[in-house]
Amino acid sequence: MFAMGHPIVFLLFAVVAIVPFWKIYSRAGFPGWIAIGMLVPLVNLVLLFYVAFAEWPRDRAALKVPGAV
């Protein structure tokens, strides 16, 4: 049913899909591990909309620091 290469291809896809989102979420101030949700259908859409429209923790922290832009 499944060839030996299918799990390897899936893991490569998962890594390629998760790594950029992990970096994006971390830079925005969210926990990076929520990038794993990008592999779950519908959860990935919810995460994208949440991050797009939520107030980023990084921006909140920058407002508290005097002299920060």
CA 36 – CA 66 distance, rounded (Å): 35
Residue 54 lies in a domain: yes
What pLDDT score does 58 carry? 79
1-60, pLDDT tens digit by residue?
A: 567 778 888 889 889 989 999 999 998 889 999 999 998 999 999 999 998 898 888 777
State both tokens at 37.
Answer: 């949700």
Residue 33 lies in a domain: yes
Q: Say what the pTM is.
A: 0.69
Residue range(s) defining the domain that contains residue 27: 5-64
Rg of the chain on CA atoms, in Å? 16
Q: How many domains does the chain have?
A: 1
